Amino acid sequence: MRFVIIGGDAAGMSAASRAKRNMPELEVTVLEQTADVSYSACGMPYNIADPEREMEDLVVRTARVFREKQGIDLRTGHRAERIDRNAGVVTGKTAQGEPFEIPYDTLLIATGASPVIPNLSGFHLPGVLALKSLEDGRRIKNFIRSRGVKRTVIIGMGYIALEMCEALRSRDIQVNMVKPRAVLLPWMNPRLTSMVREELERWGVGIHLGQEVKGIEKQNETLRVVCSDTVLEGDMVLVAMGVKPNSELAAGAGLDLGPCDSISVDGTLRTSDESIYSAGDCADAYHVVTGKKTWIPLALRANRAGWAVADNVTGKRTELQGIAGTAVFKVFDLEVARTGLSVGEAEQFGFEPAEVMIESRSRAHAHPGASTIGVQMVSERKSGRLLGAQLVGKEGAAHRVNAVAVALHQQMTVEAFSQCDLAYAPPFSPVWDPMLTASNQLLKQA
């Protein structure tokens, strides 16, 4: 049986490795358009922060290991351009422009996502860069080094923008951030958002909210980001306006699409064609709270979905539960975390939400080093079901969010969550962990 995979990063290579391990006689071919496979995209901002580190440090497993040790027919520099479902064939071109044609019995589309680049003037000027692939990371690092970048403008304020802001500030590069919406993190409780904003300002970051970007101009060596009411100047511009799923191949082959034009899959990762699977950032998923389809492109799901496809292809039927949208990121000295639904999302999905916002301490009262931790918790008023949580703090936000994520997977009520036996010792939390304090307060709202 020929198992062909399009895309050689988290989802694609997880699937290839596991399929080969499960069934060594399976013919596994991976088509990857770039020269890079299996690397940690998530580590790129931290790598860029350190001029001494090579981008290659982020490669988890090299192409040679996949080919020679695992027996995977890994073809880099191979871009898939068309899927012929009737013939069971993928066609495309190599980096040298040679056409190729690969037959499949089972196909996995694991093409990931691409940065959103608006169709405005100046977004293709040299020095206007986005960060998605390892090659993008190299490009940014080389540009900073070769041009001696001192000032940057970041368009967008999502987690990649914020991580890159920290990376650039740590290299003493000035940063101005700009976005059209008037709110920094629209999904977040305003008190938590202001904690993030204060942290950015403490590190000297310029925040320009409610500024529509009209285009980018070049004047000598300076890039000028022209906004509705201001012009921001930099030696480099980072475009971090979000990502979109790479679903054109699937759409061209007539496969069903889901939210945000991601590829629609069932719990077993099968698309609307039973011999084609899709996994990772290009595919949708069920949300464990709403039970509805959603598109939240994150790394754990990509790796897990790749494994699940491999199991299904090699005869071990596997159905995934879905995702809670659990995410965490660092903004200088703050940890920012979320899982499940925000109040706005809860309303959008027809829940009548109750919410609480508390501020507690990360360690026991009077224990040295304790800092403020803010927790917002959301429940459904009628049933008391826990719907989501958001946390911001200097320490302890990142690991605490996982307790709520588990509760969401188990569809727990706030009352049941408030009875959980969470760990306590003075260096790690107050006796009543902030998550328990939040749930106790939320119970009073219902």
Ligand X SMILES: Cc1cc2nc3c(=O)[nH]c(=O)nc-3n(C[C@H](O)[C@H](O)[C@H](O)COP(=O)(O)OP(=O)(O)OC[C@H]3O[C@@H](n4cnc5c(N)ncnc54)[C@H](O)[C@@H]3O)c2cc1C
Cβ–Cβ < 8 Å for 437, 370: no
Residue whose tokens read 């090579």: 54
239 lines the binding site for ligand X (CB under 6 A): no
Near ligand X by CB under 6 A, which window of 111-119, 223-231, 345-353, 432-440? 111-119
Integer Cα distance of 440 and 435 in angstroms: 9
Residue choice 22, 34, 70, 314 for contact with ligand X (CB under 6 A): 34
> Given the complex with ligand X, which of 132 and 139 has the nearer CB atom?
132
The CA-based diameter of the chain, rounded to the nearest angstrom, is 70
8 lines the binding site for ligand X (CB under 6 A): yes
**What are the b/e assignments for 270-284, b being 16+ CB within 10 Å?**
bbebeebbbbbbbbb
For 273, list phi and psi in degrees, rounded to 5: -110, 125
CB of 214 to ligand X, least distance (A): 26
Residue choice 160, 188, 223, 337 for contact with ligand X (CB under 6 A): 160
> Given the complex with ligand X, which of 268 and 441 has the nearer CB atom?
268
309 lines the binding site for ligand X (CB under 6 A): no
140 alpha carbon, distance to own chain's centre: 19
CB of 118 to ligand X, least distance (A): 18
- Is 42 catalytic? The answer is yes
115 alpha carbon, distance to own chain's centre: 12
237 lines the binding site for ligand X (CB under 6 A): no
113 lines the binding site for ligand X (CB under 6 A): yes
> Given the complex with ligand X, which of 6 and 168 has the nearer CB atom?
6
- Tell me the residue length of the chain: 446
Near ligand X by CB under 6 A, which window of 95-103, 266-274, 296-304, 367-375? 296-304
Compute how many residues bind ligand X; rule: CB under 6 A: 33
Residue choice 6, 16, 232, 276 for contact with ligand X (CB under 6 A): 6
In single-letter form, the type of residue at position 341 comes to L
CB of 45 to ligand X, least distance (A): 6
Residues 62-81 that bind ligand X (CB under 6 A): 79-80
CB of 31 to ligand X, least distance (A): 5
Residues whose CB falls within 8 Å of the CB of residue 219, separated by 6 or more in sequence, listed in order: none
> Given the complex with ligand X, which of 100 and 432 has the nearer CB atom?
100
Q: How many CB atoms lie within 10 A of CB 108?
A: 32
Residue choice 127, 234, 280, 396 for contact with ligand X (CB under 6 A): 280
CB of 427 to ligand X, least distance (A): 26
Residue choice 15, 45, 140, 375 for contact with ligand X (CB under 6 A): 45
298 lines the binding site for ligand X (CB under 6 A): yes
Terminal alpha carbon distance of the chain: 56
Residue choice 17, 106, 111, 247 for contact with ligand X (CB under 6 A): 111
> Given the complex with ligand X, which of 280 and 430 has the nearer CB atom?
280
CB of 351 to ligand X, least distance (A): 25
47 lines the binding site for ligand X (CB under 6 A): no
Integer Cα distance of 353 and 380 in angstroms: 5
Near ligand X by CB under 6 A, which window of 42-50, 63-71, 165-173, 420-428? 42-50
Options 42, 260, 282, 420, the catalytic residue: 42
Q: How many CB atoms lie within 10 A of CB 182?
A: 9
302 lines the binding site for ligand X (CB under 6 A): yes
> Given the complex with ligand X, which of 55 and 110 has the nearer CB atom?
110
CA-closest candidate to residue 211, choices 240, 183, 233, 192: 183
Q: How many CB atoms lie within 10 A of CB 70?
A: 16
11 lines the binding site for ligand X (CB under 6 A): yes
Residue choice 16, 44, 227, 276 for contact with ligand X (CB under 6 A): 44
Integer Cα distance of 4 and 104 in angstroms: 6
Residues 116-145 that bind ligand X (CB under 6 A): 131-132
CB of 160 to ligand X, least distance (A): 5
Q: Please give the positions annotated as active site.
A: 42
Residues that bind ligand X (CB under 6 A): 6-12, 31-34, 41-42, 44-45, 79-80, 110-113, 131-132, 160, 246, 249, 280-281, 297-300, 302
